[in-house]
Amino acid sequence: MKTVITVVVILLVFTGLMALMYRNAIGTARENAEISQMRRVYGAWYLYGQDWNGSVAFNLYDVRNHLPDDRLLSVESDPYRKRPGPFPADPVLWNSERKSPLRISFAYLGAFAADAKVKVNWDTALENPRVGLIANPFAGEIFSGNSGWEFGRRGRLTRISVLGAATTVDKAGLSPAALFGEF
């Protein structure tokens, strides 16, 4: 009888460890897929700038013509992606007048500048590798706000710098400094 109980306990512990490893692997795979999407959006942003003589897009909807699929602008971890539109042009600027017919899951420094939430000197910002350009605010823990599109966040944040490098940082909040670092 003791042998049977021991075997059952060992199997339960083993099953629990395997489930934990599987869950972590799924989380890592999702994060890697979202970083890949962000890099493709960065590439579209870069091509937009090439087409418009170095101009910076007002929002990520403007760069969609350089993407093979509009779904690259939305990530699975975005809890608002299946709601009907019109959508905020930037997920963090939910109270902005700017709207988008597509759900865009990534926060974008250019949208913050266009809405006068930050002042960006693009000549120097585009040369600074510590300036974040695109951020995924849905990489960490999300909690709903009081109305409509509003939300808060804490924990991990994934961002792409103005030079295309991906980083993951532990920053809470939705402030420009939390989302984009130094600018």
pLDDT digits (tens, 9 = 90+) for 11-36: 666 566 565 555 554 455 566 778 99
Provide the whole-model pTM. Answer: 0.81
Q: Residue 5: its pLDDT value, please? A: 77
Instruction: Return mean pLDDT, the chain.
Output: 86
Render pLDDT for 52-87 as a digit per residue (tens, 0 to 9). 998 999 999 999 999 999 999 999 889 998 888 899
> Is the C-alpha dihedral spanning 74, 78, 84, 90 positive or negative?
negative
pLDDT at 25: 46
The pLDDT of residue 56 is 92
- Buried b vs exposed e over 31-41: b needs ≥16 C-beta within 10 Å? beebbebbbbb
